[in-house]
Amino acid sequence: MNWRHFLPTEVYFGKGILLEKGCKLKELGKRVLIITGKSSSKNGSLRDLKDVLEDLKADYEIYSDVKENPSFNDLRDARRRFEGFQPDFIIGLGGGSPMDFAKALSVLLKNPNLNVSEIYETDKHSSMYPVVEIPTTAGTGSEVTQYSVITDDDGNKKSFGADHTFPTLSFVDPSYTLTMPPDLTVSTGVDALCHAVEGYLSKRANPIVMTLAENVVLRIKKYLPMAKDNPKDEEARTQMMLASTMAGIVISQSGTTINHAFGYPVTTFKGVRHGQASGLFLVETVRVMSKAIGEKVEKILKPFGGLEGLDEFLRDLGVYDLKIHISPEELEKWSLRTSKAKHLKATEGDFSLETVKSIYEKVATKIG
Ligand code: NAP
Ligand code: ZN
């Protein structure tokens, strides 16, 4: 098997790392746009970042209106506000939503002639302003991926990613995640678990990321329940942050599979967080994949003792504790869309429209 491994992001990891190594930002310039949500002012990360930028005498502006699962309209708003700003670089601070938003806005500000919808067409742009990512959740791994997931005007979550959309630099401090409540800890941690399992099973996986993925599964099995039960457990938070960044490296090379596409409408139309939405389908999608690649599935799920063990793990974490009604019309519409998702290219197994529908039905029964 021939493969390529490309990961140009410089990563700094550890407690207090932003204050310790923030001087690296000097190399990128002095005019800075910070993209964030509301929680960064409560977990210490925004304070640290401001201290670093003030020390460097940088000229910065803050856009703190990023919502969960950012949309085209949010991007249009930010683009209008910062049209003439011409930053030297852009910082994404927060969960996956602000980190992804920073990448998308960077492409749009650098390429003013691009329509918002053209961000997905990565042959229409070839550069962005350098992006620095600082995660405050342990889940998406966006600090080491080229991907940005943005919801289009019809409510479809779609991602783009290319060699030029990797972050230049990331500062990963697990202590910013100490403020995450248990439900957010589980949802984001399960996202990282899905990245590792899906990335390992993807047709695009390479031996480097497969090794990482096996290690990620071990870490998450041990430390996610601990982080959920003891939010202030620094060791569990550190291990989960490490697992999340490692899982990000996995999908930066292998991509995710159809499992992620299953979750997207549940997030957009039912308001279920991304990680939990992906976790809902993991057992059933991997069950179908196992018909084609049984040995591989057995290997990555070994720490759980197989699919039933994984199911139990997710149930114990509360991933299925939802009450959501999916109407027959929604089921039809979602199945049709998911059965055509671009993720299928990298997915093993037979995901015909019938199969996709039966998975939605099974999960709808589980949570209905
Ligand atoms: P998120 O949508 O960024 O944030 C979820 C919630 O967590 C928000 O209410 C946020 O508040 C809050 N929050 C963030 N950090 C916190 C902290 N330390 N303590 C307490 N609350 C905190 O969640 P996410 O799961 O990290 O990101 C999900 C997004 O990333 C989705 O759009 C998903 O599609 C995308 N994603 C991207 C990739 C990739 O490779 N690029 C991979 C997977 C998923 P505020 O918003 O007010 O700050
Ligand atoms: Zn994900």
Q: Is 139 in the pocket of ligand 1 (CB under 6 A)?
A: yes
Tokens of residue 177, six digits: 């995640």
* Percent of the chain whose predicted confidence (pLDDT) is above 90: 99
Region 56-81 average pLDDT: 97
Nearest to 241 by CA among 24, 11, 5, 7: 11
Closest listed ligand to the CA of 193: 2
Instruction: Give pLDDT tens digits for 273-283.
Output: 999 999 999 99
Residue of the CA atom closest to atom 44 of ligand 1: 140
- 103 pocket-lining for ligand 1 (C-beta < 6 Å): no
Distance from the CA of 111 to the center of ligand 1, in angstroms? 26
Whether pLDDT at 1 is above 80: no
Q: Relative to the alpha carbon of 194, which ligand is closest?
A: 2
| Ligand index nearest the alpha carbon of residue 157 | 1
Sign of CA dihedral 29, 37, 250, 231: positive
CB 28 within 8 A of CB 94: no
Bridge-based pairing state of the strands 157-160 and 148-151 = antiparallel
Residue nearest atom 11 in ligand 1 by C-alpha distance: 39
Could you tell me if the CB of 141 is within 6 A of ligand 1?
Answer: yes
170-194 tens-digit pLDDT: 999 999 999 999 999 999 999 999 9
Give the chain's length: 368
For residue 368, name the pLDDT band (cuts at 50, 70, 90).
confident
**97 C-beta closer than 6 A to ligand 1:** yes
Query: Does ligand 1 lie within 6 Å of residue 180's CB atom?
Result: yes
Select from 43, 66, 71, 149 the residue to mutate for testing ligand 1; criterion: most ligand atoms less than 8 Å from CB: 149
Summarised one tens digit per residue, pLDDT across range 184-232 is 999 999 999 999 999 999 999 999 999 999 999 999 999 999 999 999 9
Burial of 12 (0-12, 13-18, 19+ CB in 10 A): middle
Kindly state the tokens that stand for 72.
């085209």
Q: How far is the CA of 240 from the centre of ligand 2 (A)?
A: 15
Q: Tell me what pLDDT residue 334 has.
A: 97
| Pocket perturbation via mutation, ligand 1, pick of 177, 183, 184 by most ligand atoms within 8 A of CB | 184
Question: Mean pLDDT over residues 324-335, rounded?
Answer: 96
Average pLDDT, the chain: 97
Using the mean position of ligand 1's atoms as its centre, give its distance from the Cα of residue 280 in Å. Answer: 18
Atom 14 of ligand 1 has which residue's CA nearest to it?
A: 95
Q: What is the pLDDT of residue 328?
A: 95
Q: Would the pTM of this model clear 0.85, i.e. be above it?
A: yes
Q: Indicate if ligand 1 lies below 6 Å from the C-beta of 188.
A: yes
pLDDT of residue 186: 98
Give the ligand whose atoms come closest to the C-alpha of residue 259. 2
pLDDT band at 135 (very low <50, low <70, confident <90, very high): very high
Q: What does the alpha-carbon distance between residue 268 and residue 154 come to, in Å, rounded to a whole number?
A: 10
Residues 116-120, mean pLDDT to the nearest whole number: 97
Measured between alpha carbons, how far is 47 from 165 in angstroms, rounded to an integer?
27
